[in-house]
Structure 1
Amino acid sequence: MARAVGAPPVHVLGTGTALPGEPVGNDRLAHRLGLPSAWVETFIGTRTRHFAVDLDSGRVRWTLEDLCTDAADRALADAGAEPSEVAFIVLATATPDALMPTTAALLADRLGIEGAAAYQLQSGCSGAVQAFAVARALLAVSPSGLGLVVGGDVCSKHLDLGQDFHELPPGALVNYVLFGDGAGAAVVSGAPRGGARALLTHLEHRAAGFGVPPGQRVEWFGAADLRSGDGRRPAVTEDYKAVEHRVPVLARQLLDALLTAAGWRPETVDYLLPPQLSGRMTERITSELGQGFEWEPVSCVAETGNNGNALVFFQLDRLLPRLAPTQRALALAVESSKWIRAGFTVEAPQEASDA
């Protein structure tokens, strides 16, 4: 299948993901929060999630650096690449371990990568696409080099486990059952290379919330931090009704934009990587976008929880073993912070297509 003329594709050589600890099911979480598990199942639809903190003691068991290191190690192994081959790291996160040093720089040190450029993006759910876009620009300068693209979040740092959850309104309780922690990574190249798993072709990343209030705000301080500067301002606020209303609209716009950019007809697409919000909302968006088409959805959020910048990597990790020669996929991500739509098209490597 011919590909529309555009910027050079990103060659994905390997992927890896990491989740902290055992999955936390709705019964376990509901018992800890003093809530009926049926409420979680009905309202959110997410079955399990993973936390980097111990739910009982609040003790931090994994840092973002730990999770990103595990995911990067697995991606390098999957690509058959050595850390010494990596020329740059681009890491996307909304929840860095510290303002400085950056988690990207610490990750390079943990991996034993000396002299590589390390970039860190402050981003929400669209961060993985932003990171791939930055990587594509860097690879355009040095196509034969290898890059490491990483995304991850430790959302549980914003959970105040010592409060009375019966006093929280549903809008605040959502954050305790919706989000989880995790990290993902991909090894990429700008030039054809043996063993490439997929090509990311057309990347779309646009602010789409001009004049519209943010759907989510996350502060620098944590939920248990009293140094907010203006009383007890919550660390995380979310307009869930606005998210429900706007994300499906932006997802449709994004899908149409990617199809137009790639010159693809909808019926030639084999897989859809839909926006990952919650199990329930993702099912709804997938159903609405796929009406009349036989796209196979590739989703993870019902099992992993919403772990932000890691989500697209978990979807790619599930897609690549299924992607056969000549097959295509669309990856969609919508960030509600200030409404960003981001995504890319995926194709099987040209070598496989010509076989």
Structure 2
Amino acid sequence: MPGPDIHVLSAGSALPGPAVDNATLAQRFGMDTLWQQWIEVFIGTRARHLALDLESGQLTSTLAELVEQAGRQALAAAGLGPGDIDAVVLGTATPDQLMPATVNIVADRLGINDVRTYQLQSGCSGAVQALDVARQILLAGSGRRVLVLGGDVIARFYDVTADLRKLPPAQLVNYVLFGDAAGAAVLSTEPGPGSAVVRALFTRLVGLGRPPGATLEWFGPTDRDSTRPAATEDYKAIEQHVPAMTGEVLEELLTATGWSPGEVDLLLPPQLSGRMTRLITEKLALPRAGEVTVVDEAGNCGNAIVFLQLERALAKLGAGERAVGVSIESSKWIKAGFALQGGGGESR
């Protein structure tokens, strides 16, 4: 027998500090106007939020603080309290510490106790992996409501003393692509006001034999003096593979739901950069789908981006309307996606 419908009741988000535009970033690092124009033309991201004071290099927000804020928003939007939650799942590439797990710190701050907690270590697609774990918990009958969290503080890997004019492209691009943020959603076996039902959801590793497209190191006492860069991004490999992988995810979602391209009302595309998001959206050519994008103003904020999109999508999705979301992770090449239907999905 099929399991119960799984509903996204609400979503919330948290962005640290004011937006940092390209002019501010260029001025801080002593780059000229040509560099600023390069960001706008070839990256296409206008601003990002950073949990970092660019002058001092000091962090202004921890991941736990941002995730807590997003979690509170999602719970309030769903009309729920800490005692209504049966499990908590967090996806992140940048936990505050190896131990204790950030998910447990956040649960404690939210007043959630005596429940299952899971922390998934992953890049951007960790958000969909976390949604998938929550969905499986609910389908197994192990609870009625799960708080799903995602976020990253990538600015902690910035070296504000670096001379960007001397950095290779694989390191330089990180200073302009990424932003810091957190997001949250509540999944339930019961619908609620403004909720959407999950019609399909999957995540799959597809990187067999393919070199990583991105790396993020965690240095310890024995290797903290390594000459390896803390973060790298193979932007050319990402430009080559992500559009095709996005098309594959969309095709699989449409097959799973039985929807045609013309029946999709909202598209939540991968959010690496403003330019790539636009190219991918044009290539998918969904004839009537509105685009839900946040990367132009928030940057690529890793595991938060899907939740920022969900927050906006839930506000737009009418009863019976259909949305598809795609998330691609380049670290070892994971493709993930989900399909939602508004209004509890009364019509298919």
Length-normalised TM-score, structure 2: 0.95
Distance 1:194 1:165 in 2: 49
C-alpha offsets along residues 105-127 of structure 1, whole Å, 9 cap, x if unaligned?
A: 00111001121211100011111
Secondary structure of the 1:74 match is: helix
Partner of 1:193: 191
**Would you say the 8 A contact 1:6–1:202 is kept in 2?**
no
**Would you say the 8 A contact 1:9–1:202 is kept in 2?**
no
* 2:224 aligned with 1:249: no
With over 3 angstroms needed to count, the CA separation of the structure-2 counterparts of 1:52 and 1:46, relative to structure 1, is same
Give runs of aligned pairs for residues 1-355 of structure 1, distance below 5 A.
8-35=4-31, 36=33, 37-142=36-141, 145-190=144-189, 192-195=190-193, 197-221=195-219, 228=223, 231-290=226-285, 293-350=287-344, 353=347
With over 3 angstroms needed to count, the CA separation of the structure-2 counterparts of 1:196 and 1:146, relative to structure 1, is farther
Amino acid at match of 2:302: G
Distance 2:346 2:3 in 1: 21
Distance 2:130 2:118 in 1: 9
Count residues in correspondence: 345
* Superposed displacement of residue 246, structure 1: 0.1
* Superposed displacement of residue 142, structure 1: 2.9
With over 3 angstroms needed to count, the CA separation of the structure-2 counterparts of 1:6 and 1:311, relative to structure 1, is farther
Secondary structure of the 1:228 match is: coil
Secondary structure of the 1:151 match is: strand
* Superposed displacement of residue 227, structure 1: 5.6
With over 3 angstroms needed to count, the CA separation of the structure-2 counterparts of 1:6 and 1:24, relative to structure 1, is farther
Secondary structure of the 1:350 match is: helix
Secondary structure of the 1:320 match is: helix
Overall identity of the aligned pairs, in %: 51
* Superposed displacement of residue 194, structure 1: 3.3
Secondary structure of the 2:315 match is: coil
Secondary structure of the 1:121 match is: strand
C-alpha offsets along residues 247-267 of structure 1, whole Å, 9 cap, x if unaligned?
A: 001000111011011111111
Distance 1:229 1:351 in 2: 51
Secondary structure of the 1:260 match is: helix
Distance 2:115 2:327 in 1: 28
Distance 2:180 2:5 in 1: 30
With over 3 angstroms needed to count, the CA separation of the structure-2 counterparts of 1:12 and 1:143, relative to structure 1, is farther
With over 3 angstroms needed to count, the CA separation of the structure-2 counterparts of 1:213 and 1:6, relative to structure 1, is farther
C-alpha offsets along residues 258-309 of structure 1, whole Å, 9 cap, x if unaligned?
A: 1011111111111111011001111110111126x12111111111111100
* Superposed displacement of residue 10, structure 1: 2.2
**Would you say the 8 A contact 2:273–2:300 is kept in 1?**
yes
Secondary structure of the 1:139 match is: helix
* Superposed displacement of residue 8, structure 1: 4.1
Distance 2:73 2:42 in 1: 34
With over 3 angstroms needed to count, the CA separation of the structure-2 counterparts of 1:144 and 1:71, relative to structure 1, is same
Greater mean alpha carbon deviation, residues 142-151 or residues 132-141: 142-151
Distance 1:351 1:130 in 2: 22
With over 3 angstroms needed to count, the CA separation of the structure-2 counterparts of 1:307 and 1:130, relative to structure 1, is same
Secondary structure of the 1:202 match is: strand
* Superposed displacement of residue 211, structure 1: 1.4
* Superposed displacement of residue 349, structure 1: 3.0
* Superposed displacement of residue 170, structure 1: 2.7
Secondary structure of the 1:205 match is: strand
With over 3 angstroms needed to count, the CA separation of the structure-2 counterparts of 1:302 and 1:264, relative to structure 1, is same
Distance 2:230 2:162 in 1: 14
Greater mean alpha carbon deviation, residues 15-24 or residues 210-219: 210-219
Length-normalised TM-score, structure 1: 0.93
Greater mean alpha carbon deviation, residues 282-291 or residues 18-27: 282-291
